[in-house]
Amino acid sequence: MEIPIIIGTETEYGISVKNAREQDPVAASTLVVNAYKSCKGDVPNAVTSVTWDYDQESPLMDARGFLAETEPPISEADTSNVVNDILINGGRYYVDHAHPEYCTPECANARDLLLYEKAGELILEVSRVAAERLLLDNQEVIIYKNNTDYKGHSYGAHENYLMSRKVAFDTIVDGLIPFLVTRIVITGSGKVGAENGSNAADYQISQRADFFEKEVGLSTMVNRPLINTRDEPHADDKLYRRLHVIVGDSNMSEFSIYLKVGITSIALQLIEKGVVGKQFSLKEPVSAIKSISRDLSCKNQIELADGQQQSPIEVQRAYLELAKQHLTPEERTPVVEDVLEKWQFVLDNLEIDPGRLNRHLDWIIKKKLLDAYRQRHGYQWDDAHLQMIDLQYHDIRPDKGLYIRLLKNGHVKRLLSREEIVHAMHYPPVDTRAYFRGTCLRRFPKHIYSASWNSMIFKGKSGGLDKIMMDRPHFGTQKIVGELLNNCTAEELVKEIQGNASG
């Protein structure tokens, strides 16, 4: 692959305060994010003296080649720095309007991405507990890793994939829409009912499907598109593009998260290779994602642009077969091989009976819970108790969250150990530029003025500022800079890097 795979996710969490006089999600989110700074340890979780550098962010740049003529969204730069943490694991944690949001560091494979996303859930839980100590005795912070408040508002679980700038954006659109629309049979987190004026449903596969209204566009909050066109690479824009995927659900299942990013990375490799073009184009993709979400058998046919009829399982299987044919031995790393094997396993079992995956995929795990509850109590699908069970599945509190309780009791498939996840809260991946960022924040917090995804600004000895660019996400690894970071002072580090850059 010409451009090494780099993946990251951004997760907005739902939040409420039990027994609050009135709900103020902005204040609650601010309280929770700020609370993480107060958690004591040998090394701070976040570096409070370092600000986020917004200079190179451009949310209105469109991948179709123009600057959008629209009112800019409320800038994160306009919010106070007290609600913006730069984490020593290389990630970022901040308030995004009415939600606490966690961004993973850049990861080089699907397993690492899963690890750092799960570390984010623990970071939110640690923050929640710390924040609760500042509330009245009868109040409790509740945080959900889901996508809807059941009042018509949807919030996102966004994925980011580094791609070559050489691949035309229209080519990405052609190859990716059918994949993303049919991917929900694997990645959906399950949902009771329907929203956003969509057709009624007792239970559906995806929480996000009802909220998509067009095929391609820039917005992430209204008139949402299946393919987002934001062109903000956070890297050298002559070489790279960052594909910003907003169509996915927030997943609790480790298996679902792992496959979501793993198979999508592979699909993008196939697009880059030119083996996926328009052969899977759908006649009406926006309608298709809603109809697939309501088909719990996963076998109903959808119409392709050329008139063929295929099930979502068949479309996914076609991508899988192309991957087996076209990935080179070098590209088939142990993680990629494992993803291919699990992709095959899921499709085979979906075809026989989706219920066979009630330890693996979120929407099936959740449905098993809901079915048992309905049978025990005689509830119909429109009973409010089922909506409460739906929400409780995504609750991150260890004693209340239904998914977490299933995990503890060995009822769902586990891919990670608790020890790995705790370690990832405090240490960055070693094989991307996140290693450089996180390690510098740990070693030199008093010497750093600001940071962003693709740069760090150090405080010079004479009061000046020295900017270190990090515009290649697969550099800055432990292998490349580990010895420097271990042996240099902050001043020596800057001098060495600047000397190498000029040389």
- The three-class DSSP label of residue 116 is helix
Do residues 494 and 372 share a domain?
no
3-state secondary structure 146-195: CCECCCCCECCEEEEEEEECCCCHHHHHHHHHHHHHHHHHHHCCCEECCC
Overall domain count for the chain: 2
Among residues 342, 368, 393, which one ends one of the domains? 393
Do residues 331 and 254 share a domain?
yes
Domain assignment of residue 126, yes or no: no
- The three-class DSSP label of residue 140 is strand
Q: Copy the structure tokens of residue 236.
A: 């050298």
Residue 4 confidence (pLDDT):
83
Query: What are the pLDDT digits (tens) for 194-229?
Result: 999 999 999 999 999 999 999 998 776 768 999 999
Among residues 393, 422, 451, which one ends one of the domains? 393
Domain assignment of residue 463, yes or no: yes
Q: Copy the structure tokens of residue 42.
A: 């040998």
- Residue positions annotated with a catalytic role: 96
Do residues 358 and 458 share a domain?
no
Round the CA-based radius of gyration of the chain to a whole number and report it: 22
- Ranges in the chain, pLDDT < 70: 1-2, 40-48, 56-82, 220, 222, 501-503
DSSP structure string for 309-368: EE-HHHHHHHHHHHHHHH--TTT--HHHHHHHHHHHHHHHHHHH-GGGGTTT-HHHHHHH
Residue 73 confidence (pLDDT):
47
Among residues 375, 393, 411, which one ends one of the domains? 393
Domain assignment of residue 85, yes or no: no
pTM beyond 0.85: yes
Domain assignment of residue 125, yes or no: no
Residue 487 confidence (pLDDT):
95
Longest dimension (CA), the chain: 74
Distances (CA, A) of 369 to 131, 341, 346, 362, 406: 30, 27, 20, 11, 10
Query: What are the pLDDT digits (tens) for 122-180?
Result: 999 999 999 999 999 999 999 999 999 888 889 989 999 999 999 999 999 999 999 99
Domain assignment of residue 341, yes or no: yes
Alpha-carbon distance 442 to 438, whole Å? 6
Residue 80 confidence (pLDDT):
41
- Tally of CB atoms within 10 A around 353: 12
Domain assignment of residue 453, yes or no: yes
- The three-class DSSP label of residue 487 is helix
Alpha-carbon distance 376 to 386, whole Å? 12
Residue 76 confidence (pLDDT):
44
Residue 74 confidence (pLDDT):
44
Do residues 451 and 389 share a domain?
no
Alpha-carbon distance 257 to 186, whole Å? 10
Q: What is the mean pLDDT of the chain?
A: 92
Instruction: Identify the CA nearest to 188 among candidates 208, 209, 205, 212.
Output: 205
Range of the domain at 480: 435-502
Alpha-carbon distance 361 to 405, whole Å? 16
Residue 245 confidence (pLDDT):
96
